[in-house]
Amino acid sequence: MTDHFFKKVVSELKEATENNDHPFRYFTLGTTGITKTPRLRTVVLREVSDELKFTIYTDKRSRKVTHIKEHNEVCLLFYKHDELLQLKIEGIAYLEEDKEKIARVWKSISEKSRKDYITSKEPGTKIDNPDNVEYLENTNHFTIMYIKAKKLEYLQLKRPNHIRLQFNRESTKDWQSSFMVP
């Protein structure tokens, strides 16, 4: 009975990787690092697999990368306003290690978008004027981050009954699901 919801989640997420207007295209990634203070930021969903492995692109000097190296457990939050549908995902984050794969993906990124990964100074460095950002010419700090989901919570607000379900997966085993009191 819960299969339908899981399939809907995967299908909507996949659609968001191809459609910039889909509300799941942008999601909130929460990390903690060693300080235990949660840090949230919006990122773009680049890919998602049937097993709920998420892919994002980032700068390897960014705080989120430092955080996941310190503590690899992260949370993702997606929200689809027209259906009042929220997805909360807990997972394990890690970076792509295959340099050739990173180089291949880098080649596919447009010149305009590459600027996000080639600032001379580290992201977050203080500057006097937003127009005074310098860019590197022959090198980049692009990397690929993956998040492997181990828990998914689906919540849809609707009348007469809200729908709340949890899907859990231990290691490579199948997803276990149950409805919950909303």
Ligand X SMILES: Cc1cc2nc3c(=O)[nH]c(=O)nc-3n(C[C@H](O)[C@H](O)[C@H](O)COP(=O)(O)O)c2cc1C
Give the range of 16-24, 41-49, 98-106, 162-170 binding ligand X by CB under 6 A: 41-49
Q: What are the structure tokens assigned to 81, written together?
A: 């306003």
69 forms part of the interface with ligand X (CB under 6 A): no
64 forms part of the interface with ligand X (CB under 6 A): yes
Distance between CA 133 and CA 156 in Å, rounded?
43
Closer to ligand X at the Cβ: 67 or 169?
A: 67
Among 2, 5, 17, 26, binds ligand X (CB under 6 A): 26
Helical (H) or strand (E) element with 127: none
79 forms part of the interface with ligand X (CB under 6 A): no
Contacts of 161 (CB under 8 A, 6+ apart): 182
Least Å distance between CB 49 and ligand X?
A: 18
Question: Which 8-state DSSP code applies to residue 68?
Answer: H
Q: What are the structure tokens assigned to 18, written together?
A: 């191809």
Give the range of 53-61, 83-91, 93-101, 152-160 binding ligand X by CB under 6 A: 53-61
Q: What are the structure tokens assigned to 180, written together?
A: 């919950």
List the x/- string, 119-138, binding to ligand X by CB under 6 A.
----xx--------------
Q: What are phi and psi of 70, to 5 degrees?
A: -80, -35
Angle subtended at Cα 119 by Cα 94 and Cα 97, rounded to the nearest 5 degrees = 25
56 forms part of the interface with ligand X (CB under 6 A): yes
Closer to ligand X at the Cβ: 124 or 182?
A: 124
Q: What are the structure tokens assigned to 73, written together?
A: 């457990």
58 forms part of the interface with ligand X (CB under 6 A): yes
Q: What are the structure tokens assigned to 124, written together?
A: 């977050």
Closer to ligand X at the Cβ: 56 or 147?
A: 56
Distance between CA 156 and CA 83 in Å, rounded?
7
Closer to ligand X at the Cβ: 63 or 150?
A: 63
Contact present, 96 and 159 (Cβ < 8 Å): no
Least Å distance between CB 174 and ligand X?
A: 30
Residues forming the site for ligand X (CB under 6 A)? 26, 39, 41-44, 56-59, 62-64, 123-124
